[in-house]
């Protein structure tokens, strides 16, 4: 998407970890819903996490899941990466999702900031691409 155009074929692909997350979140999804992208993030800034490992231990983990219909933010059961609370923190139709982003953070529908490290900014861009495609009436597909 070098020219800034929104196209369905430019959608990101999930890595192996994202595929495992997709398998584990299936019970929280609507019947027939397909996961397009998923990744785990944290509620504390990585910059603060560098200062002390205690922040890493006590910051909450959230999982962002983009499906063909909805955008979810799921609260991870601490300290397990692949277990989640019963109800999602956020569930919004993909085309209606309000996304705010910074260099290393993402906010969904006015909720709290969700942080990734600088090397993982691709996850934020992936969510932006999929929600933008849905808002323009294009299918949210993963390559």
Distance between CA atoms of residues 108 and 115, nearest Å: 12
Token pair for residue 69? 């219909």
Output the pLDDT for position 70: 94
Q: Domain 16-135, CATH 2.40.10.10 — does that match? A: no
Helix (H, G, I), strand (E, B) or coil at 35: strand
Output the pLDDT for position 98: 92
Output the pLDDT for position 4: 40
The 10s digit of each residue's pLDDT in 70-108 is 999 998 887 667 888 888 889 999 989 999 998 888 999
Distance between CA atoms of residues 25 and 60, nearest Å: 17
Grouped pLDDT means (10 residues each) for the chain, 143 residues: 41 80 88 90 70 64 91 84 84 91 89 83 87 79 52
CB 44 within 8 A of CB 105: no
Maximum distance among all Cα pairs of the chain, rounded to whole angstroms:
44
* Other Cβ atoms within 10 Å of 116 Cβ, number: 20
Token pair for residue 7? 């196209």
- The model scores a pTM over 0.85: no
């Amino acid at each position: 998407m070098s020219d800034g155009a929104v196209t369905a074929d430019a959608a990101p692909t999930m890595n192996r970890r994202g595929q495992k997350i997709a398998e584990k979140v299936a019970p929280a999804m609507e019947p027939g819903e397909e996961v397009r992208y998923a990744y785990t993030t944290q509620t504390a800034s990585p910059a603060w996490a560098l200062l002390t490992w205690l922040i890493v231990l006590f910051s909450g983990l959230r999982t962002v899941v983009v499906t063909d219909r909805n955008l979810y933010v799921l609260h991870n059961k601490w300290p397990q990466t692949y277990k989640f609370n019963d109800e999602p923190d956020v569930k919004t139709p993909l085309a209606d999702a309000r996304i705010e982003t910074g260099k290393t953070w993402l906010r969904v529908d006015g909720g709290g900031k969700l942080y990734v490290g600088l090397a993982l900014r691709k996850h934020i861009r992936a969510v932006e691409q999929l929600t933008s495609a849905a808002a323009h009436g294009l299918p949210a597909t993963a390559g």
